[in-house]
Amino acid sequence: MKPAGGYKTFNSSAITVAVAMSLSGCGSGSSTPSPLEWPIAADVFTTAQQQIRPVALAADTTKINPADLSLYKQYGYSNWLAAPGTNYGTDTNNPQTHEKRSELAPAYAGAANVARLLSFFSMSDIHISDKESPAQAIYPAWSSLYGPTSGGLTGGAWTPTILATTHVLDAAIQTVNALHQKSPIDFGISLGDNINNAQYNELRGFIDVLDGNLIVPSSGAHAGADTIDYQKPYKAAGLNKEIPWYTAIGNHDQFWMGILYENAKTTSAHIGNTILDLNLYSINQPLNPNWSVDQTGFYMGVVDGSTPYGTVTGSGPVANFATAPTVVADPDRRSLATVESSQRNFMSEFFKTTSSPAGHGFTQSNIDNDFASYTFEPKAGLPLKVIVLDDTCKKNDTLGRMAYYGTACLDQTRIDWLKLELQKGQDEGKLMIIAAHLPIKPQASLSDKTLTYMFYDKTLEDTLLATLHSYPNLILWIAGHRHQNTVTPQPFNASNPSDHPEGSFWEVQTSSLRDFPQQFRIFEIRRNADNTLSIIITNVDPAVTPDSPAGKSRDYAIGAARIFGATPAILADTTSHSYNAELVKQLTPQMQEKIQNYGTSLVK
Q: What is the CATH number of the domain that holds 401?
A: 3.60.21.10
Alpha-helical regions (H) of 212-295? 264-271, 280-283
Give the chain's mean pLDDT.
91
Specify the pLDDT at position 26. 36
In a domain, 29, yes or no: no
pLDDT tens track for 434-477: 999 999 999 999 999 999 999 999 999 999 999 999 999 999 99
Please report whether residue 235 resides in a domain.
yes
Instruction: Classify residue 37: in a domain, yes or no.
Output: no
For residue range 314-323, what is the model confidence (pLDDT) as tens digits? 999 999 999 9
Residue 9 has pLDDT above 80, yes or no: no
* Nearest residue to 596 (alpha-carbon basis) of 86, 48, 179, 115: 115
Number of domains in the chain: 1
What is the mean predicted confidence (pLDDT) over 160-184? 98
pLDDT of residue 1 exceeding 50: no
pLDDT recorded at residue 517: 97
Q: What is the sign, positive or negative, of the torsion defined by CA atoms of 258, 264, 267, 270?
A: negative
pLDDT at residue 604, rounded to an integer: 81
- What's the pLDDT score for residue 33? 76
Among candidate residues 577, 549, 581, the one with its CA nearest the CA of residue 164: 549
DSSP state of 232: S
Residue 288: pLDDT band with limits 50, 70, 90: low
Return the pLDDT at 375. Answer: 98
Query: What's the confidence (pLDDT) of residue 399?
Result: 54
For the stretch 424-440, pLDDT in tens is 999 999 999 999 999 99
Asked whether residue 152 carries a pLDDT value surpassing 90, the answer given is no
Instruction: Tell me whether residue 36 is in a domain.
Output: no
- pTM of full prediction above 0.85: yes
Which of 73, 98, 102 is CA-nearest to residue 87?
98
| Mean pLDDT (whole number) for 95-104 | 95
**What pLDDT does residue 279 have?**
87
Examine residue 110 and state whether it is found in any structural domain, yes or no. Answer: yes
The reply to whether 565 falls in a domain is yes
Task: For residue 2, tell me if it sits in a domain.
Answer: no
Phi, psi (deg, nearest 5) at residue 337: -80, 150
d(CA 575, CA 517): 10
Given this model, what pLDDT does residue 401 score?
Answer: 53
Query: Looking at 33-37, 196-200, 223-227, 329-333, which range is the least confident one?
Result: 33-37
What's the pLDDT at 18?
A: 45
What's the confidence (pLDDT) of residue 158? 93
Residue at 6 is within a domain: no
Give me the domain span that covers residue 340.
50-601
